[in-house]
Amino acid sequence: MHSMEKTIIDANSKSILPEFREIYKFRQLLFSLAWRDVRVKYAQTYIGFLWAFINPIVNLAILGFVFGKIATVNTEGVPHLLFTAAGLVTWTYFSTLISQAGSSIVAAQAMIKKIYFPRLIIPISKAISGLVDFLIILIFLVILMVFYGYSPSTKIIFLPFFIVVIIISGLGGGILISALTSRYRDFSFIVPLLTRLGMFITPIGYSSSSVPDEWKFLYFLNPLAGIVEGFRWCLFDQSNLEPYMLYSVSLVFVILAISLLYFNKVDKVMADIL
């Protein structure tokens, strides 16, 4: 006979961080939720998985027209569509995860009230399912590079680091927004406004070199600004790499730490406030 494992829930636990061993213990549930999200996202649509290609292409066309034809920004010799696609790789994953993870806790409140499992699994599952769309946009970027005959720079060896930072940025933001939304439902209305604003204060269709020097410190308080510039630096070896990029990227890890601390605090009363 196999002895049943007993789970003890201590509401007065002094731990300030989530129990990551618990998350590993429930890893099967984690991947099941992620796979369900992938299947459900394009279910009952006429063209199904093609939407994963259509959305970034439409965004790319709009940004390419605005910043490439109307504003005509400097891209240091990189074709504008390719330049913008590199920015969209980062932004699309982050904004999608913020939107999906933000409402994930509230959407799963029936399950949270009925059974015990580490609630952090819910926003993490969104980060995993979002990797499918992220990979598609990354492939689309590679296709554009081949189309334009643009070879990546030798600094592409640093690209895996920035891909990890992109994932961490989305995860940290998603965890924080999901915890805030579970307590303050106003965030379900605030987040769409922030993502629309964020698309223009992040250098997706333009370079941060166009930002006036006196505003750059404030501008790079947006962690996505540093990540986008770093991502392009790996691919295109642009000479205008901003010195602010490093502190901008470091903010990603600060946000992740804050999000885990706050989520763990809310987690203790989550079932009661939903």
pLDDT digit string (tens) for 112-168?
Answer: 888 888 888 998 998 888 888 888 888 888 888 898 888 887 888 988 998 899 989
Q: Give the domain extent around 132.
A: 20-40+47-273
Residue 130 lies in a domain: yes
Q: What is residue 66's predicted lDDT score, i.e. its pLDDT? A: 74
Tell me if 153 sits within 8 A of 236, measured CB to CB. Answer: yes
* Alpha carbons 138 and 96: distance in angstroms, whole number: 15
In a domain, 175, yes or no: yes
Whether residue 235 lies inside any domain: the answer is yes
Token look-up 């999906």 returns: 100
In degrees, rounded to 5, the angle at the alpha carbon of residue 124 between the alpha carbons of residues 266 and 227 is 105
Q: Which of 86, 85, 97, 88 lies closest to 169, judged by CA?
A: 97
Residue whose tokens read 């093609």 = 50
How high is the pLDDT of residue 1? 42
Residue 5 lies in a domain: no
Q: What is the pLDDT of residue 199?
A: 83
pLDDT score for 200: 84
In a domain, 9, yes or no: no
In the chain, the number of structural domains is 1
Q: What integer pLDDT is reported at residue 258 of this predicted model?
A: 92
Q: Given 3-state DSSP classes, what are the helix, strand and coil percentages for the chain, each rounded to the nearest 5?
A: 75, 0, 25
Question: What pLDDT does residue 253 have?
Answer: 92
Residue 62: inside a domain:
yes
Q: From the CB of residue 200, how many other CB atoms can be counted at a distance below 10 Å?
A: 12
Q: Which residue ranges in the chain fall short of pLDDT 50? A: 1-5
- Beta carbons of 120 and 29 less than 8 angstroms apart: no
Q: Does 170 reside within a domain? A: yes
The confidence score (pLDDT) of residue 4 equals 45
The pLDDT assigned to 105 comes to 86
Domain membership flag for residue 139: yes
Q: How far are the Cα atoms of 172, 236, 249 from residue 255, in angstroms, in the given order?
A: 6, 28, 10
- Report the pLDDT value the prediction gives residue 241, as an integer from 0 to 100: 60
